[in-house]
């Protein structure tokens, strides 16, 4: 473990910043490991966090109209499945692209120098070909949606393209990540309605603040190395004031999510029911726990708190699902 902790590529082909025991090492042929590491298949938290805004939006969009015998208010299972495949593929493509752009930086950071590109276990050409394959999978998923959603999905590539460069020029690369990782909040609505509306935009804005918050926690793992190589981040920007900053970011996210719920029902009997608001309150408690527990100088704890945000994702998603089920079982009495 010591060579992994220090960031060297060990003889087993593992990387320093992934669990030593995970399904990639147990089930995949050793020749596939470097590509699985490029795509971060050994760290599912990334695609999970990318997926949540998609699923939230997909669950919220049908509740814009009142439930009926032909309209349950529940999301399409097919769309949820497509978003899952798309999240895994595009998160992998994004990470591969990011590693190509950041190869020299990764060579200088202890936690990342054992990754496939800086350690030399994958060539740049091989990484580029793998990037194309993953992007094609994502594109095939995108083609299953309506034209509006397809165009909207392609537009998201602009946010993906600029993100790796932001850490060189601004203290807010986490904002760039938020713009890219939160795009699903627009996609879920667009795949259902073939258009965008205020609730989707509010959900998107809230997801951006949420992403900035959790990625600030994540970035505290690397702040010493980042300072040495000149990489900027909100972790370095906020420093000892990280907790107040997180409080503002998470409060802003919750407020925008609340507004998204409140503006979804445009006709009597429509909009999320009380389970969605109860879940939002429970999610607020989970966020507060993150802030209170945080020790910005404990890298292991920062990673654990960062990963805990998938619990927040589950809370909000199930709140929206139970909201639809409640509205279907106990429809509002219209005047």
pLDDT of 230: 83
- 23 within a domain of the structure (yes/no): no
C-alpha 317/C-alpha 59 separation (Å) is: 7
7: confidence class by pLDDT, cuts 50, 70, 90 = very low
Tell me the residue length of the chain.
335
- 175 within a domain of the structure (yes/no): yes
User: Can you give the residue range of the structural domain that contains 324?
Assistant: 34-329
Percent of the chain at pLDDT exceeding 70: 93
Report pTM: 0.91
C-alpha 168/C-alpha 164 separation (Å) is: 8
Radius of gyration of the chain (CA): 20
- 170 within a domain of the structure (yes/no): yes
334: confidence class by pLDDT, cuts 50, 70, 90 = very low
Residues 6+ apart with CB under 8 A from 205: 256
Percent of the chain at pLDDT exceeding 90: 75
Averaged pLDDT for residues 7-28:
72
- 81 within a domain of the structure (yes/no): yes
- 109 within a domain of the structure (yes/no): yes
Averaged pLDDT for residues 260-272:
85
C-alpha 223/C-alpha 210 separation (Å) is: 20
Number of domains in the chain: 1
C-alpha 77/C-alpha 62 separation (Å) is: 12
What are the tokens at 121?
A: 């276990």
What are the tokens at 239?
A: 């420093």
CATH number at residue 282: 1.10.357.140
Q: How many CB atoms lie within 10 A of CB 172?
A: 16
Q: What is the pLDDT of residues 33-47, one digit of tens each?
A: 999 999 999 999 999
pLDDT of 95: 94
- Specify burial of residue 76 (Cβ count, 10 A radius: 0-12, 13-18, 19+): middle
In the chain, which ranges are continuous DSSP H helix?
2-5, 23-27, 33-38, 45-60, 77-101, 103-108, 116-119, 124-142, 147-155, 157-169, 173-181, 184-193, 198-219, 223-229, 234-238, 242-264, 274-293, 299-307, 309-329
12: confidence class by pLDDT, cuts 50, 70, 90 = low
pLDDT of 21: 76
What are the tokens at 320?
A: 């929206």
pLDDT of 166: 93
In order of 24, 84, 96, 278, the CA distances from 28 in angstroms are 5, 21, 19, 41
- 7 within a domain of the structure (yes/no): no
- 6 within a domain of the structure (yes/no): no
- 193 within a domain of the structure (yes/no): yes
19: confidence class by pLDDT, cuts 50, 70, 90 = confident
Mean pLDDT (the chain, rounded): 91
């Amino acid at each position: 473990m010591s060579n992994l902790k220090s960031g060297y590529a060990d003889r087993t082909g593992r990387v320093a910043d992934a669990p030593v025991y995970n399904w990639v090492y147990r089930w995949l042929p050793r020749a596939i490991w470097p590509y699985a590491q490029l795509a971060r298949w050994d760290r599912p938290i990334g695609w999970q966090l990318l997926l949540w805004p998609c699923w939230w939006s997909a669950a919220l969009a049908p509740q814009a109209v009142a439930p009926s015998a032909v309209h349950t208010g529940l999301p399409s299972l097919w769309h949820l499945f497509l978003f899952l495949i798309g999240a895994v593929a595009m998160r992998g493509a994004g990470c591969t692209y990011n590693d190509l752009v950041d190869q020299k930086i990764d060579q200088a950071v202890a936690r990342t120098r054992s990754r496939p590109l800086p350690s030399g276990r994958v060539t740049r050409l091989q990484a580029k070909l793998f990037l194309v394959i993953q992007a094609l999978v994502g594109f095939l998923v995108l083609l299953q949606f309506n034209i509006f959603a397809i165009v909207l999905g392609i537009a998201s590539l602009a946010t993906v393209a600029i993100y790796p460069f932001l850490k060189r020029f601004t203290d807010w690369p986490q904002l760039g990540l938020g713009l890219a990782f939160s795009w699903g909040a627009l996609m879920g609505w667009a795949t259902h309605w073939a258009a965008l509306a205020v609730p989707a935009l509010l959900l998107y804005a809230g997801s951006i603040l949420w992403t900035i918050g959790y990625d600030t926690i994540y970035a505290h793992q690397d702040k010493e190395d980042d300072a040495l190589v000149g990489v900027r981040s909100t972790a370095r920007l906020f420093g000892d004031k990280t907790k107040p900053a997180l409080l503002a970011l998470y409060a802003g996210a919750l407020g925008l999510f609340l507004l998204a719920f409140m503006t979804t029902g445009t006709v009597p009997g429509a909009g999320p029911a009380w389970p969605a608001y109860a879940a939002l309150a429970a999610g607020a408690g989970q966020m507060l726990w993150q802030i209170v527990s945080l020790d910005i100088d404990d890298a292991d704890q920062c990673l654990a708190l960062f990963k805990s945000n998938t619990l927040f994702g589950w809370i909000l998603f199930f709140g929206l699902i139970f909201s639809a089920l409640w509205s279907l079982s106990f429809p509002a009495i219209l005047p």
